[in-house]
């Protein structure tokens, strides 16, 4: 049985139809990466899966008792608020210190407990948010652009941590990325979203390809892969909203296109 299933989702925000006819599912233990350009509805889909948004049509079915862990795209914190990592993990509900430490260890942030939240690097902050999501003991982790703002080695290290967590805890993972071509290589499936599901498939792991090495070097230990995909249709003809961001990317990726 799938952990979560969405059928024929329609979501309108304001006057803007953000999602139409979206079918989506996640099987136990699966890593699914959702790619799509800015504004394509990725966060909206995650929030609908979480239950934070109600679809106008269609439905989301969760396995009974499903436990979700969510890492939001942004978390605003008052930098003047003195709070260390361990204390942050006990808000809003109290959690035993041993559980907090175990979650930090699992997220690769075991040494950060006494550090002030305001002094963390971007990568460290993301790991603390990951630890917070793990406190829920999730069957499914939902990560909204968790590597945004991290450099390539930082992203690769984060992806490897998520892969480790999947292996160790057995949870499924849904990861959102606005990078259309570079995804976590451990993804079992990549779903390309642009208001609707354009296409989906396996990432093609091409760590040995010259173009991949030119982009990312050889120092990412295979954590990144290219997702090569072809769209069978053009969007500008079919949709009523702006897709003018060169989503027509049914072609091989080259260095100049990525930089
Ligand atoms: N509360 C809202 N009211 C009206 N429009 C909204 C609202 N929230 C989001 N939108 C619009 O819905 C569209 C999809 O937003 P969403 O955040 O889901 O996209 P995204 O793919 O996650 O984008 P990004 O990669 O930039 O995070 C955008 O055009 C956004 O402006």
CB 53 within 8 A of CB 47: yes
- Residue 142, pLDDT score: 96
Q: Considering only CA atoms, which residue is closest to atom 2 of ligand 1? A: 13
Q: Considering only CA atoms, which residue is closest to atom 8 of ligand 1? A: 13
Average pLDDT, integer, range 62-71: 95
The closest alpha carbon to 186, from 161, 212, 213, 150, belongs to 161
pTM above the 0.90 mark? no
Residue 258 phi, psi dihedral angles, 5° rounding? -90, -25
C-beta of 16 in contact with ligand 1 (< 6 A): yes
The closest alpha carbon to 196, from 6, 50, 4, 2, belongs to 6
Residue 122 phi, psi dihedral angles, 5° rounding? -55, -45
- pLDDT one-digit tens code per residue, 41-56: 999 999 999 999 999 9
Average pLDDT, integer, range 129-149: 94
Domain boundaries, the chain: 27-49+138-258, 77-137
C-beta of 241 in contact with ligand 1 (< 6 A): no
Q: Quick one: 193 exposed, middle or buried, by C-beta within 10 A (0-12, 13-18, 19+)? A: buried
Terminal-to-terminal C-alpha distance of the chain: 41
Q: How far is CA 224 from CA 43, 44, 114, 123, 200, in A?
A: 22, 25, 31, 16, 17
CA of 216 to the centre of ligand 1 (A): 29
Which CATH number is associated with domain 27-49+138-258?
3.40.50.300
Dihedral angle at the C-alpha atoms of 10, 189, 149, 248, nearest 10 degrees?
Answer: -70
Q: Which of 32-36, 151-155, 188-192, 226-230 shows the lowest mean pLDDT across its residues?
A: 226-230
C-beta of 235 in contact with ligand 1 (< 6 A): no
- pLDDT one-digit tens code per residue, 160-195: 999 999 999 999 999 998 888 888 888 999 999 999
CA of 18 to the centre of ligand 1 (A): 7
| Mean pLDDT, rounded, of the chain | 85
CA of 13 to the centre of ligand 1 (A): 8
Q: Indicate which atom in ligand 1 lies nearest the CA of residue 36.
A: 21
- pLDDT one-digit tens code per residue, 86-137: 999 998 889 999 999 999 999 999 999 999 999 898 889 999 999 999 999 9
Q: Flag whether pLDDT at 71 surpasses 90.
A: yes
- Residue 211, pLDDT score: 67
Q: Indicate which atom in ligand 1 lies nearest the CA of residue 178.
A: 25
DSSP string, 37-67: -TTSSHHHHHHHHHTSS--SEEEEEE-TT--
C-beta of 15 in contact with ligand 1 (< 6 A): no
Q: Quick one: 91 exposed, middle or buried, by C-beta within 10 A (0-12, 13-18, 19+)? A: exposed
- Residue 239, pLDDT score: 40
C-beta of 232 in contact with ligand 1 (< 6 A): no
Largest CA distance in the chain: 56
């Amino acid at each position: 049985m799938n952990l979560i299933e969405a059928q024929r989702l329609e979501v309108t925000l304001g006057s803007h139809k953000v999602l139409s006819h979206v079918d989506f599912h996640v099987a136990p233990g699966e890593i699914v990466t959702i790619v799509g350009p800015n504004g394509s509805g990725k966060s909206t889909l995650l929030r609908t899966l979480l239950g934070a948004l109600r679809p106008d049509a269609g439905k989301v079915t969760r396995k009974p008792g499903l436990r979700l862990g969510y890492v939001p795209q942004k978390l605003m914190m008052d930098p003047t608020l003195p709070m260390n990592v361990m204390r942050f993990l006990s808000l809003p509900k109290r959690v035993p210190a041993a559980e907090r430490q175990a979650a930090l260890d699992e997220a690769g942030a075991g040494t950060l407990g006494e550090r002030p939240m305001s002094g963390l690097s971007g990568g460290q902050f993301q790991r603390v948010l990951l630890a917070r999501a793990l406190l829920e003991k999730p069957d499914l982790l939902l990560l909204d652009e968790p590597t945004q703002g991290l450099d390539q080695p930082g992203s690769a290290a984060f992806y490897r941590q998520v892969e480790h967590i999947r292996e160790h805890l057995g949870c499924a993972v849904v990861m959102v990325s606005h990078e259309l071509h570079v995804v976590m290589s451990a993804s079992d499936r990549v779903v390309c979203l642009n208001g609707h599901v354009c296409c989906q498939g396996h990432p093609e792991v091409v760590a040995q390809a010259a173009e991949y090495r030119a982009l990312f070097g050889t120092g990412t230990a295979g954590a990144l892969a290219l997702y090569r995909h072809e769209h069978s249709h053009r969007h500008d003809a079919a949709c009523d909203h702006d897709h003018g961001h060169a989503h027509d990317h049914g072609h091989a990726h080259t260095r100049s296109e990525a930089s």
